[in-house]
A = this chain, B = another copy of it.
Amino acid sequence: MLSVHVDLQERSYDILIEAGMLPRLAEILKRRGLPERLLLVSNPRVFELYGSIVMEGLSDGFSVEEILIADGEQHKNLDTASTIYTALIERQADRSCGLIALGGGVTGDIAGFAAATFLRGIPYIQIPTTLLAQVDSSVGGKTGVNHPLGKNLIGAFHQPHLVCIDPQTLSSLPEREYRSGLYEVIKYGLIRDRRFFEFLESSLDALLKRDPKVLQTVIRRCCEIKAEITSQDEREGGLRRILNLGHTFGHALEAATGYKHLTHGEAVGYGMKAAAALSARLGRLSQEHCHRAALLIDGLGERPSAPVPFADLYQSMQQDKKRSRGALRFVILEAIGEAAVVEAPALEDVEKAWVEAVSGD
């Protein structure tokens, strides 16, 4: 079994990666002294697919009860968190219990937030079942819900006690959702690891076909990079910001299109192209590297078009919570594998980079 360690002193934990691990969960959790009473939070769709495997996989030594919540970003709110609290209280859960988050990013974020805030914090385990959750949201301890006025505005840092990734769960993932996760995979190469980027360039076909071996390598490397970055900067005071490559553009694009038109990954795909274009425009990235970045991003296939006027995009950026003291912040590239952060670049450059990224489509 592959294991990636996230080093955060007393909040350290492991990410375990192995195809077909779910039936062996009891053995794995026992060895790590996890609570014997577990409440499993999932949504009906994922629970139907993997609920019984997980419950049976834990039956030897653990008591597990399920708490099902509605699926979808529109349900990622305090009301859904409240239904989890209510279920926990009704079942007399106490501080000696643990939560399991079984599902994609939405389930992981809400269940993590419930774990962070129920009785001021109980342990939780992430079992991510989407590519996006496996390479990104399940690692790093960011939990939270949306507010009617904006995404992810309410939340807490609460590190999981363990992350169990079974790449076999990706076989049931719809094609568009799978590809959406691949944008974040490319992101790790762009910000931190040129060799990994080159591996992705050369393995793109196998990756798109969900080749198990390539997938395992890819998930592990993404988790290693995220673990390394979040270990150095748990609460996003500095380095961790580079994980937001493409996200200033991407979040604004999602907001400007009402979160309906594009998946998060697709929006980040556009955003990373724009960030690369901005980097080149600012003289920080060579045209060659900018081109290679765009080529791999576009290699994931066609995205829905994003005909958003820059003025609309800019308005959304202004509302982005990641602005600091009013200055817009962008992650840029200095080479493939090397990222930096710039504050308040000239608006003209931002606009031209955006137009360039979209017109290439």
Contacts and interface: CB of A to CB of B under 8 A. Distances in A.
Interface string A117-161: 111110000000000000000000011100111100111110000
B95 A147 contact: no
Contact of A94 (B78, B118, B325): B325
A189 to B, nearest CB: 27
A82 interface: yes
Given A82-B78, A153-B118, A147 B89 contact: yes
A86 interface: yes
A144 B156 contact: no
A317 to B, nearest CB: 13
B156 A121 contact: yes
A106 interface: no
Interface in A69-118: 78, 82, 85-86, 89-90, 92, 94-96, 116-118
Total copies of this chain within the assembly: 2
A324 interface: yes
A323 interface: yes
Nearest to A318: B92
A321 interface: yes
A157 B325 contact: no
Nearest to A323: B94
A235 interface: yes
A206 to B, nearest CB: 37
Contact of A156 (B86, B116, B321, B324): B116
